[in-house]
Amino acid sequence: MNTIVSHEFTWFNILCFTSHSIPYYTGKTGFRNSYQSVWDKFGTQTTAERDQFLNESFPSGFQWATSSESFKVEGGWSEDGKGETIWDRFGHKGQVPGNQTADLACDSYHKVDYDVYLLRGLHVNTYQFSISWARIFPFGHQGSHSEKGALYYDRLINALLESGIQPVITLYHWDLPQALQDYGGWTNATIVAAFKDYADFCFSRFGDRVKSWNTFSSPWVVSHAGYGTGEHPPGMKDYVATHNILKSHAEAWHVYNDKHRKKQGGKVGIALNSDWAEPMVASKPADVTAADRYLQFMLGWFAHPIFVDGDYPALLKTQIEQKRNRCPFSEPARLPSFTAEEKQRIRGTADFLGLNHYTSRLVKNSFGGCIPGPQGVGDFQAHVDPSWSSTASDWIYSAPWGLRRLLNYISAEYLNVTKVPIHITGNGMPIKYIGNTLNDKSRIQYMRSYINEALKAIHLDGVDVQRFTVQSLMDGFEGNHGYTQRFGLHHVNFADADRPRTPKQSVYFYSEVIKRHREQEEPKSIPLVCKHPLTVGATEKDCKPSGILFILVVMHCDLPKER
């Protein structure tokens, strides 16, 4: 009798606590999944081992990038035939503090040359920006094409290439045409064909010059905040949005693969956002499995269908089904099913895995009852360590070591099936606006630490990371936070109608990292000097001894004191 119970419990754990339908056997410790393997590798690290600085350089050809998003910077919200977006409607209904809107934003719609000038000064070789769907197709469909809107992106792309900067385009970063939302937006299955047509137009129009595409950026936020909690526009609660986003992504990839790839030779991926999840109590197996569930409810929701088998993770499906059985008088979650044909259509539809990563969480096992949302349905609670440095955002705390662990997890969980590289498509932190804050030393510390953790993943763990994108080029309209949170490397004066930009200290730091990396690729020595315009009078003694390795030279410079 005891033997039967033991076997039943073992298979219950395999079903509920592994990420794939078929776990693998280690021969020593029994069945293991990707999360447990990564935790076994890093869980016993001391703080000193975890935070140790790596004296190495990035691989030759590594891509250094910064980014922007259309509704956050462009402005020109109704110019040249552009259609209304859900974020335009959100702001105009007074749902942002202070009745702030993105009507003018940074006025990037009229400042292509200005913005590219800033990028040249930053020395990045890659610039990631999103296209406003409503600027191309004002009403969301191909029949409403706006040539003036397309010309704006032509000008931007050409200016970047003339400056030796490779454009990376995101097709969708949250600003859905309001005309499509009026018919249900991402909850209406017809949006799949509309997105495919939009993507096809962009590939046809810009693909001769653009060789890297993200179909979506942070779709988890769209599904969770826009169609789950209702915190973001359109403020709905409908779980089918993720289903249609995944099918839309797949159709965009296929139209590129079938129609454009041979001639254009580019790559199409998706930029997924994810925290790293650490067990609250390392010695509690229940907290370890809860941390695994956290990642499956966030990253696995999108990554598993695309990079593994075309379907949602077994753990996610089992957890939701159990919750529905326990809550017969409510529906805390619903997970639609893919057909066999849809699974085949979705599986393997990415040439790289884009990662937007900003923070980590400590996760504990907890019965969530019948409360909707990831924590309630997933039976976990997420916390932060009081010792982690805070930011202007109430959800971003600096825990840089989480990036290395997450990159290892992604490599083990997804990229052993689909062999593609990782692009870090977004990493950054906001500073609260309290005037002309150019001395952003907390952002420099954040960047220094996260860049080095990416370096560790590459050199120590063999993870194939090919790009690092700092968010963002300039301050912008941060959604429901308006202009109160500043992610930018450049300060934007939103009180001035001309929207002047001014470099912050982080500009000089990041440009120096990039510059020294490029010098490291050349066969010449690099002086141990940390001079730049913000370290007046700096000499060699301002840096710690570090040989000629550029990362250590730059990152061990003492920061200038507050003036």
pLDDT in tens, 148-164: 999 999 999 999 999 99
By CB neighbour count within 10 A (0-12 exposed, 13-18 middle, 19+ buried), where does 31 fall?
middle
User: Residue 4 has what pLDDT?
Assistant: 27
**Could you tell me the sign of the dihedral formed by the alpha carbons of 354, 358, 364, 368, in that order?**
negative
Answer whether residue 119 is part of any domain.
yes
Q: Specify the pLDDT at position 531.
A: 35
- Rounded to two decimals, what is the model's pTM? 0.88
The confidence score (pLDDT) of residue 235 equals: 75
Q: Would 541 be classed as within a structural domain? A: no
Percent of the chain at pLDDT above 70?
86
In a domain, residue 548? The reply is no
Find all residues with CB under 8 Å of 386, minimum gap 6, and list them: none
Tell me whether residue 141 is in a domain.
yes
- Quick check: is 547 in a domain? no
Cα(387)–Cα(74) distance, integer angstroms = 37
For residue 77, the domain's CATH number is 3.20.20.80
**Overall average pLDDT of the 526-535 stretch:** 34
Note whether residue 28 is domain-resident: no
pLDDT band at 550 (very low <50, low <70, confident <90, very high): very low
Residue 520: what pLDDT?
A: 76
pLDDT, residue 122, reads 97
| pLDDT: which is higher, 524 or 441 | 441
**Total domain count, the chain:** 1
Mean pLDDT of 353-361: 98
pLDDT tens-digit readout, 186-240: 999 999 999 999 999 999 999 999 999 999 999 999 998 878 777 788 877 666 8
C-alpha to C-alpha distance for 126 and 510, rounded to whole angstroms: 13
Q: Which domain holds residue 369?
A: 47-521
Summarised one tens digit per residue, pLDDT across range 450-465 is: 999 999 999 999 999 9
- Residue 38 within any structural domain of the chain: no
555 in a domain, yes or no? Answer: no
* 9 pLDDT above the threshold of 70: no
Q: What is the pLDDT of residue 546?
A: 32
Q: How many other CB atoms sit within 10 Å of the CB of residue 350? A: 24
Lowest-confidence region among 107-121, 156-170, 273-287, 507-521: 507-521
pLDDT of residue 239: 67
Give, in order, the Cα–Cα distances in Å from 245 to each of 76, 138, 270, 298, 434: 27, 20, 11, 15, 38
526 pLDDT exceeds 70? no
Model confidence at 369: pLDDT above 90: yes
**332 to 337, 368, 376: CA distances (angstroms):** 17, 10, 8
pLDDT band at residue 555 under the 50/70/90 scheme = very low
Which pLDDT belongs to residue 522?
A: 62
pLDDT at residue 436, rounded to an integer: 64
**pLDDT tens, position by position, 122-142:** 999 999 999 999 999 999 999
Give the model's pLDDT for residue 234.
85
